[in-house]
Structure 1
Amino acid sequence: MVFEMESQKKNYCVLGDVYGMVTVPKEFEQLEKESNFELKLQVPDVGRAVKDFVRIREVGEFLSGALAGAMTKAVLAPLETVRTRMIVGVGSRHIVGSFVEIVEKQGWQGLWAGNSINMLRIIPTQAIELGTFECVKRTVSSTQEKWKKNGGPKLRINDMNINFSISWLSPVAVGGAAAGFVSTLVCHPLEVLKDRLTVSPEAYPSIRLAVSKMYQDGGVGALYSGLFPTLMGMLPYSTCYYFMYETVKTSYCQAKKKKSLNRAEMLLVGALSGFTASTISFPLEVARKRLMVGALQGKCPANMVAALSEVIRAEGLGGLYRGWGASCLKVMPSSGITWMFYEAWKDVLLVERICR
């Protein structure tokens, strides 16, 4: 409580409580009032921070690719199993016969043999691949615009000036090639494991045992068996795949005077892109698979050329396309569904950024 003294009303006041009173300068009254503060603890808004992080363009594209890949593989795992067995020459030569053979020997779950490692493989692979494609495509396009506006690097030799230009490069083709290259380098061991588990589940009953046995047989290099032919096969496939999708999508939207494809159109354009790219690069895919699982059959070709020669000698030129039908049955819906899911997830995760 506060009492003001009459004789010194302007300069002093009395502060007191139950224990007594004291005379102090009046300015202390204001300090006492201002010292009554309320302690507030602000809890970080974790949900908002996560939402803002996800809506960063690169993060949203990365997550969209991961989710699209996971959902696609969960649906199409049986076709992947049949395709892999036919390519490496295990079991029936016909799609229906291969399905029946797997079900008879391993039950319905045999159609999902190796699917656990396949899911572990496809999530980072698809995320890295689609994220790299978008990033490299934007970077090349941006660089082309800057060089067109400001002029590119120049080299002067005596009186001769050489101007460097990348206007002839296709950002989509470069992005597609980079996507296939980077994702293959990072995720190739998972691809090797998936093929081993799919082709020979008896020899490799689990991921842990498969890794252990492969390491004992060939060390770390066994996890990267067939890396060179994989890169050789992936580069034309990936380049053609992304180039086809973007080119057809852009041309179709311009012809129809629309901004984007609907879900059904994405499905069809993606399927067409996968079909074209797979058909062009399929012989390299056959050689790649033979190299990766050759050790299971006790004979591994020395290189890609040797693998191709071996197939031609044994089965003729038609052998280079053995399993092509099963591959198309898998690749076409896989490509279409992946693009459909990817674009859908981008709409969800990046909706606010797009609207801005």
Structure 2
Amino acid sequence: MTDRHDEHSNLSNPQKIATSLFAGACAGAVAKTAIAPLDRAKINFQVRAAQFSYRRCFKFLKESYINEGFISWYRGNSANLVRVIPSAAINFAAHEQWKRILGTDKHVKTPGRRFISGSLAGVTSATLTYPLDLARARMAVTNKTVYNNLFSVFLSIFRDEGATALYRGALLSIIGVLPYSGCVFFTYETLKHLRTDYDPHRPINKTERMIFGAVAGLVGQTASYPFDVIRRRLQTAAVIRPDESSLRALATTRKIIREEGIRRGLYKGVTMNWLKGPISVGVSFMTFDTLLRLIRRSSLFPQN
């Protein structure tokens, strides 16, 4: 995800991994914190039968503020950051490594490998950090009387549901991340290539990186959104819909379609993602690229 001249720097591969892990962690933290209130509102509608609308969404945020205070908007964000920081770090670093392994755009443009490297990066990250994602979803849809903190989520799941529950919905999550991560990285990288081809003498600026990331986020969120809805239902069934706690992915999907339909069920809250997704991904890519270039040009990692 770096610019072409940075991709061929003289840093060793371990140094590239270290810098991309750090920049990715910072990018994920900044991006997710920026849209945390919208994220909590979206999850609340995803896992309940109430129809989504912006009016209901902002009413939920208003009522949360009145009843529980400003900090309620960020309930679950600590768990989210615990998940997002390693997830984003692994995602960005894995993307660079998969690009290197597959030889993506090394000598000629390879759009297919561009998509595959992005998909594999997402799968790598999702597999390693899924239990944190599940814990964050549980905290986002409950109040403090259910879970006090991240530790209490894991303790409760171990005690009441067993260790395997930590990966409930994981397969669907991994399948869902394939189109999402693939589309996001492919779109962002492709837009950067198109921009560089159009004006090779002017470096890509921060605004352009933000816009490219926003477009990439919009494409990725739309392509993978139904997987996200089903995954959230599976993750939170034990605390929101106990009667569905034994249902697996296909049964949950059929139930959603039968009772709520495709547009109002599988795509419930997608318009919220069209608002927060581009913001989050745009901020994430811009932060990562900018920070990575600053670090790699500094004296912290002397070149070979």
Q: TM-score range by the shorter chain?
A: 0.7 to 0.9
Matched, 1:308 2:253: yes
Of 69, 76, 79, which residue of structure 2 is paired with 1:107?
69
- Alpha carbons 1:245, 1:269 under 8 Å: kept: yes
Task: Write the mapping of 1:236-275 to structure 2, written as runs, cut at 5 A.
Answer: 236-258=179-201, 260-275=203-218
Q: Name the CA shift for 1:255/1:54 in 2 (closer, same or farther; >3 Å).
A: closer
Give the Cα separation in 1 of the matches to 2:291 and 2:13: 11
Higher share of residues assigned strand: 1
Matched, 1:291 2:234: yes
- SS in structure 1 opposite 2:184? helix
TM-score, structure 2 normalization: 0.86
- Alpha carbons 2:104, 2:114 under 8 Å: kept: no
- Return the offset for 1:217: 1.3
Q: Name the CA shift for 1:55/1:93 in 2 (closer, same or farther; >3 Å).
A: same
Of 266, 291, 304, which residue of structure 2 is paired with 1:345?
291
Give the Cα separation in 2 of the matches to 1:231 and 1:188: 9
Give the Cα separation in 2 of the matches to 1:189 and 1:218: 13
- SS in structure 1 opposite 2:128? helix
Matched, 1:326 2:268: no
1:200 alignment counterpart = 142
- Return the offset for 1:212: 1.0
Matched, 1:57 2:57: no
Give the Cα separation in 2 of the matches to 1:208 and 1:133: 30
1:178 alignment counterpart = 120
1:84 alignment counterpart = 43
Q: Name the CA shift for 1:126/1:217 in 2 (closer, same or farther; >3 Å).
A: same
Q: Deviations over 1:106-154 (max 9, x none)?
A: 2211100011111111110000000000111022117986xx9xxxxxx
- Alpha carbons 2:111, 2:186 under 8 Å: kept: no
- Alpha carbons 1:91, 1:101 under 8 Å: kept: no
Task: Write the mapping of 1:65-214 to structure 2, written as runs, cut at 5 A.
Answer: 65-89=24-48, 93-94=52-53, 95-141=57-103, 170-201=112-143, 202-214=145-157
1:228 alignment counterpart = 171
Give the Cα separation in 2 of the matches to 1:281 and 1:143: 25
- Alpha carbons 1:120, 1:190 under 8 Å: kept: yes
Give the Cα separation in 2 of the matches to 1:91 and 1:79: 17
- SS in structure 2 opposite 1:185? helix
1:317 alignment counterpart = 262
- SS in structure 2 opposite 1:101? helix
Can you give the 5+ residue segments of structure 1 that lack an aligned partner in the other structure?
1-51, 149-166
Give the Cα separation in 2 of the matches to 1:56 and 1:71: 23
TM-score, structure 1 normalization: 0.74
- Return the offset for 1:309: 1.2
Residue identity in the other structure for 1:240: C
Matched, 1:217 2:217: no
Number of residue equivalences: 285
Q: Deviations over 1:28-83 (max 9, x none)?
A: xxxxxxxxxxxxxxxxxxxxxxxx99992121111110111112222221121112
- Return the offset for 1:99: 1.6
1:9 alignment counterpart = none
Give the Cα separation in 2 of the matches to 1:335 and 1:69: 9
- Alpha carbons 1:87, 1:323 under 8 Å: kept: yes
- SS in structure 2 opposite 1:89? coil
> What do you get for the CA RMSD once the two structures are aligned?
2.6
Q: Which runs of 4+ in 1 moved over 4 A?
A: 52-55, 142-145, 352-356
Can you give the 5+ residue segments of structure 2 that lack an aligned partner in the other structure?
1-10
2:3 alignment counterpart = none
Q: Name the CA shift for 1:267/1:347 in 2 (closer, same or farther; >3 Å).
A: same
- Alpha carbons 1:54, 1:60 under 8 Å: kept: no
- Alpha carbons 1:176, 1:240 under 8 Å: kept: yes
- Alpha carbons 1:102, 1:111 under 8 Å: kept: yes
- Alpha carbons 1:136, 1:171 under 8 Å: kept: no
- Alpha carbons 1:55, 1:350 under 8 Å: kept: no
Higher share of residues assigned helix: 2
> Which stretch has the larger CA shift, 136-145 or 205-214?
136-145
